[in-house]
A and B are shown apart, each in its own frame.
Chain A
Amino acid sequence: MCSVGGEIYDFDIKELDADAKYYKCGDCSNEFKGFGTKLRCPSCHSANVSKCRE
């Protein structure tokens, strides 16, 4: 999925960037960009999140 480096990380983010979508938390209204399954809001940890834009 993604490859990165050791103490200082480095990887090509183009593909991941294309797959990642913007989400909005239904509880705290925080917007974030995410990718994967079972996303939770990084601010309040709520699972009540939904896609808000590409």
Chain B
Amino acid sequence: MIPLNNNEMLLLRGREGTLGIVKAGENGHFFLETENEEILLALEPDDLLVASGFGTDKKVINGLKCVLYMIREVGSPFIVLPKKHPASKRLKIVVSAGDRTRISCSIIPGTHPEQDILCGSDEFDGVEISGVKGGVEFKNLKGGKLETVPFEI
């Protein structure tokens, strides 16, 4: 288990991609806004928000932190686009929320067939990330470098 508290972001740095992971936190309420309705997603504090970025440079890491910060700290809702919306191909960072996330390289970013799958670079294909009390657990992790950084802007 990798320890992670609410003031930290866990980075998994790879050769081609980077994952940013934070706890869902005490508030735990997130809004999903579709064309027709609003869905309230209520998570446990130890669940996770996982952001996947295609790149490894500082811009990507700052982007991961900003996206997660917007969601968890600012309370920015998830705006759900219709399938095949032209914006899908513009996405540079994608986010998963829940108790478990599986990384797959075989799906198109932003068009995920299953709810707990998050697209990522090849090197993270098959990795499972679970939120556990006080930290994060990984399965099938074969590469990449883990680093904990402050979750502040």
Residue of A10, A13, A35, A42 touching B87 (CB-CB under 8 A): A10
Residue of A6, A7, A10, A42 touching B40 (CB-CB under 8 A): A42
Given contacts A33-B39, A36-B28, 5 further A-B contacts (CB under 8 A): A1-B41, A3-B117, A16-B41, A37-B44, A42-B29
* CA gap between A38 and B100 in the complex, in Å: 18
Stretch at the interface among B1-9, B89-97, B144-152: B89-97
Interface residues on chain B, size class = 35 or more
Residue of A7, A12, A35 touching B41 (CB-CB under 8 A): A35
Please, which residues of chain B bring their CB within 8 A of the CB of A7? 67, 91-93
The total of chain A residues at the interface (CB under 8 A) is 27
Residue-wise interface mask of A (9-38) relative to B, using a CB-CB cutoff of 8 A (1 in contact, 0 not): 111110111001000000000001111111
Contact yes or no, B111 A2, CB < 8 A: no
Residue of B39, B85, B95, B101 touching A17 (CB-CB under 8 A): B39
Name the residue of chain A whose CB is nearest to the CB of B100. A1
Interface residues of B (CB under 8 A from A): 28-29, 31-32, 34, 37-44, 51, 63, 67, 78-81, 83, 85, 87-88, 90-101, 109-119
A13 to chain B, nearest CB (A): 6
* CA gap between A5 and B16 in the complex, in Å: 18
Contact yes or no, B42 A34, CB < 8 A: yes
B94 to chain A, nearest CB (A): 5
What are 27 A-B contacts with C-beta separation under 8 Å? A1-B41, A1-B101, A2-B97, A3-B117, A4-B80, A4-B94, A4-B110, A5-B88, A5-B91, A6-B63, A6-B91, A7-B67, A7-B91, A8-B79, A9-B80, A9-B110, A10-B87, A10-B91, A11-B94, A12-B115, A13-B80, A16-B115, A33-B39, A34-B40, A35-B42, A39-B42, A42-B29
